[in-house]
Amino acid sequence: VDPKYYNIQSCLAQTPPELFDLFCQIRDLSETLHVEPYLVGGFVRDLLLKRPNKDLDLVIEGDGIEFARKLHQVLGGKLDVHPNFGTATLDLNGFHLDVATARVEYYEYPAALPQVKPGRLKQDLYRRDFTINTLVISLSKEKFGWLIDFFGGNEDLKKGIIRGLHSFTFIDDPTRILRGIKFAVRFGFTIEEETDLLIRQAVEHGVIKELKGPRFWEELKSLLMEGKELKTLQYLDDYGILREIAPDFKLTDQQWKNLKRIDWVIQLFKDQCIVQRWLLVLMVIFANLSKETIERIANDWNLSLKDRAQLNFIHEEVYRVKEKLSEGKLRPSQIYNLLESLGSEELMYLVLISDSQLILDQVLEFYNRLRRIDVEVSGKDIINLGFSPGPLFKEVISKVKEAKLNGKVKSREEELEFIKEYLKERKGGQSEF
């Protein structure tokens, strides 16, 4: 089938001037080097959707690396070359440009890394995930600003459809299942019927279970970072993906309820911190899995220590704190000590799972007031009272802090008074410090 062509020069002309300049530089250089330059992928998709995107993918029919080197000479920026892959990246004021040589990739076996062979543009596009990501804009002198559509991506983009390119797409690369969901939730698009079926078949085939290494986790994170967790988790649940990650991974009614209250809880804390919403979602959905299961998943996905910590989030600690807080009648310093080591998302999670006004009040009291309280005296003041630095200083300062949290001292003067009294009493009880 011949590709369809659409003139979208006016669309290009509406891009910010520095971007349009870059397109012109690419056009001029390609003429000098006798190569064909094409913008491809997510950037083209987003341009047509009028969504800003600073990651540009450029495919060169010709030598991509040489092209990137010459462009670097003209424009400066930071260049990285990957000769084995025939690619280079160029960071230019605010834009990130990936330059590739038109090529064909094939997979030796499912879930393997692709092998690279030289090839042409259409084949290069055919190895991609969805039709909406196969659109191309020519930047050559003769065809500058023409959209080339080999696989019907333009129509799919207009109709709001996520359509895979071929029947092995999810077997070749199961992380594409998550990417499909990501685009569907991000743009509010529908996953086309045949593609939907291919996803179900791939999942049933066990591709999720076979995945080793961190790519699935990276895609999962990126999917949750879209911030549309309800829709996302409905997809994951419906496709049976959670079950494939772990057989007992099933969201309970309570977990769905908690997910629906995330907006509410973030609202309570907003203005005071940048919330990593996706972390909160992660805490909710992994809450019912056992430590062993989480450990097994973390090993399968070969997670870094940081990622492990995010997945292995300290549910036990939060439940222990919840118990203590629900007893009520705690002094402010006790509330402070219980909550001090929890991060913002953990505090929010605590509120989310508690469904209790008493706990909410205490957490907000900590978050809005107690955590900001600091003592005004320092070790110097204790030295001035005639003591030499030692373990005693820490003890004294923490006692002052406790008194301040509990409202027993309010100013620097009162803190000094408190210290004097405390040291006097302590001295009374002990022969020496």
Instruction: Catalog residues that contact ligand CTP under the rule CB under 6 A.
Output: 41-42, 55, 57, 128-129, 133, 173, 175-176, 179
**Closest CB to ligand CTP among 186 and 426?**
186
Using DSSP's 3-state secondary structure scheme, residue 302 falls into coil
Q: How far is the CB of 171 from ligand CTP (least distance, A)?
A: 12
Q: How far is the CB of 194 from ligand CTP (least distance, A)?
A: 17
**Closest CB to ligand CTP among 124 and 415?**
124
Q: How far is the CB of 324 from ligand CTP (least distance, A)?
A: 42
Of all residues in the shown chain, the one whose CB is closest to ligand CTP is: 42
Cα dist from 404 to 42, 338, 352, 372, 394, whole Å? 55, 16, 29, 11, 15
Q: Identify the burial level of 247 via C-beta atoms within 10 angstroms of its C-beta, where 0-12 means exposed, 13-18 middle and 19 or more buried.
A: exposed
**CB-facing half-sphere around the CA of 393: CA atoms within 13 A:** 14
**Closest CB to ligand CTP among 168 and 433?**
168
**CB-facing half-sphere around the CA of 86: CA atoms within 13 A:** 19
**Strand partners of residue 92:** 95
Q: How far is the CB of 173 from ligand CTP (least distance, A)?
A: 5
DSSP letter, residue 164:
B
8 A C-beta contact, residue 158 and residue 187: no
> How many Å apart are CA 365 and CA 312, to the nearest integer?
27
Q: How far is the CB of 58 from ligand CTP (least distance, A)?
A: 12
Using DSSP's 3-state secondary structure scheme, residue 185 falls into helix
Q: How far is the CB of 310 from ligand CTP (least distance, A)?
A: 20
Q: Strand 4-7 vs strand 95-101: parallel, antiparallel, or unpaired?
A: unpaired
Report the greatest alpha carbon distance in the chain: 96
**Closest CB to ligand CTP among 173 and 192?**
173
Q: How far is the CB of 243 from ligand CTP (least distance, A)?
A: 22
Residue 244 makes CB contacts below 8 A (sequence gap 6+) with: 203, 206, 208, 209
- List phi, psi (to 5°) of 137: -115, 125
Tokens read off for 305: 């220590």
Residue 427: CB atoms within 10 Å? 11
Residue 172 makes CB contacts below 8 A (sequence gap 6+) with: 107, 110, 111
**Closest CB to ligand CTP among 42 and 379?**
42
**Closest CB to ligand CTP among 44 and 409?**
44
Tokens read off for 128: 């991609």
User: What is the identity of the amino acid at 278?
Assistant: W
8 A C-beta contact, residue 189 and residue 159: no
Q: How far is the CB of 49 from ligand CTP (least distance, A)?
A: 10
Q: How far is the CB of 309 from ligand CTP (least distance, A)?
A: 25
**Closest CB to ligand CTP among 57 and 149?**
57
**Closest CB to ligand CTP among 107 and 256?**
107
Residue 380 makes CB contacts below 8 A (sequence gap 6+) with: none
**Closest CB to ligand CTP among 202 and 419?**
202
**Closest CB to ligand CTP among 134 and 258?**
134
Nearest to 63 by CA among 15, 26, 32, 99: 99
Residues, the chain: 433
**Closest CB to ligand CTP among 3 and 42?**
42
Q: How far is the CB of 392 from ligand CTP (least distance, A)?
A: 56
> How many Å apart are CA 60 and CA 121, to the nearest integer?
8
Q: How far is the CB of 64 from ligand CTP (least distance, A)?
A: 15
